[in-house]
């Protein structure tokens, strides 16, 4: 049996199946990137629910896996060379899983780098900007008298949606006919912006055509439907 006892996080969240990839996460836009990916590629894994409402990402056990205190993070018992590998940052995990399984990332160099640039577009732009809209529109920031931060993030989010709208013109997926980790990275954030954050009207989502069609195509995928609810909330 695989021994993961060297990883302190397993003392708080024990592995019932240590031979499977261990996922430490919850169903946020960043967290579902990895659960959707794992469902898409069919790699056996064991999910562990990390309660950010109880500050569990700031416990010593979780910080031993990700010193930045954010979900998701993984331990792959069968990492490079057969040795266990711990990994955090959702984008890095997506690339790792794609390369490990040979799925959802083109192998041709030019297409591979083009896919990666759209993954990094989500990581560097869509995630941070949409998240700020959520904070200033739905959470504590909505009580701020100064509305300039919300206006700034709404304007930037509208611009980013416009970039995505243009990219998806004549394409089913971000890379064209091929569904890739670029789509996996982005679907949850667009869904959250117009759903959980309730910011669709703010960003003029109804004026878009290609992005809503792309989101609808993504959300009906069985793996996406499953991944959006993993790990299940207690």
Bridge partners (DSSP) of residue 24 are 48, 73
Alpha helices (H) along the chain = 9-12, 31-41, 60-63, 90-101, 109-121, 127-137, 148-167, 181-194, 210-219, 222-227
Q: What is the share, in percent, of the chain residues with pLDDT greater than 90?
A: 97
pTM: 0.96
Q: Please choose, from the candidates 124, 114, 24, the residue with its C-alpha nearest in 3D space to the C-alpha of residue 76.
A: 24
What pLDDT does residue 52 have?
95
Q: Where are the domains of the chain?
A: 9-103, 109-221
Q: Please choose, from the candidates 223, 221, 198, the residue with its C-alpha nearest in 3D space to the C-alpha of residue 39.
A: 223
Q: Please choose, from the candidates 100, 71, 104, the residue with its C-alpha nearest in 3D space to the C-alpha of residue 88.
A: 71
For residue 72, say if its preceding peptide bond is cis, omega within 30 degrees of 0. yes
For residue 145, the number of C-alpha atoms closer than 13 Å in the C-beta half-sphere is 0
Q: Using the Cα atoms of residue 76, residue 70, residue 187 and residue 220 in order, give the sign of their dihedral.
A: positive
* Each residue's pLDDT expressed in tens, for the chain with a length of 234 residues: 688 999 999 999 999 999 999 999 999 999 999 999 999 999 999 999 999 999 999 999 999 999 999 999 999 999 999 999 999 999 999 999 999 999 999 999 999 999 999 999 999 999 999 999 999 999 989 899 999 999 999 999 999 999 999 999 999 999 999 999 999 999 999 999 999 999 999 999 999 999 999 999 999 999 999 999 999 988
Q: Please choose, from the candidates 53, 98, 84, 96, the residue with its C-alpha nearest in 3D space to the C-alpha of residue 71.
A: 53
Q: At what angle do helices 109-121 and 181-194 cross, to 10 degrees?
A: 20
Q: How far is CA 79 from the centre of its chain?
A: 21
What pLDDT does residue 1 have?
64
Q: Which architecture characterizes domain 109-221 according to CATH?
A: Up-down Bundle (1.20)
Per-residue pLDDT tens digits for 93-106: 999 999 999 999 99
Q: Which two tokens stand for residue 162?
A: 């416009």
CATH of 9-103, one of 3.40.50.970, 3.40.30.10, 1.10.10.10, 3.40.50.300: 3.40.30.10
């Amino acid at each position: 049996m695989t021994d993961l006892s060297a990883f302190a996080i397993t003392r708080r969240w024990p592995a019932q199946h240590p031979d499977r990839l261990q996922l430490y996460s919850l169903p946020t836009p960043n967290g579902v990137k990895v659960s959707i990916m794992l469902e898409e590629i069919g790699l056996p894994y064991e999910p562990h629910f990390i309660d950010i409402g109880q500050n569990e990402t700031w416990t010593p056990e979780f910080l031993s896996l990700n010193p930045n205190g954010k979900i998701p993070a993984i331990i792959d018992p069968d990492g490079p060379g057969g040795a266990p590998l711990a990994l955090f940052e959702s984008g890095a995990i997506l690339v790792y899983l794609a390369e490990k399984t040979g799925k959802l990332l083109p192998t041709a160099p030019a297409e591979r780098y083009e896919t990666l640039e759209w993954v990094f577009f989500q990581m560097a732009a869509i995630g941070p900007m949409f998240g700020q809209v959520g904070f200033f529109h739905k959470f504590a920031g909505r009580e701020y008298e100064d509305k300039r931060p919300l206006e700034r993030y709404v304007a930037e989010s509208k611009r980013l949606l416009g970039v995505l709208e243009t990219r998806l013109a004549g394409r089913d997926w971000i890379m064209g006919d091929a569904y890739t980790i670029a789509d996996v990275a982005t679907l949850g954030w667009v869904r959250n912006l117009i759903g959980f954050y309730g910011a669709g009207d703010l960003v003029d989502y109804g004026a878009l055509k290609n992005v809503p069609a792309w989101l609808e195509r993504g959300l009906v995928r069985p793996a996406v439907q499953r991944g959006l609810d993993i790990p299940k909330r207690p």
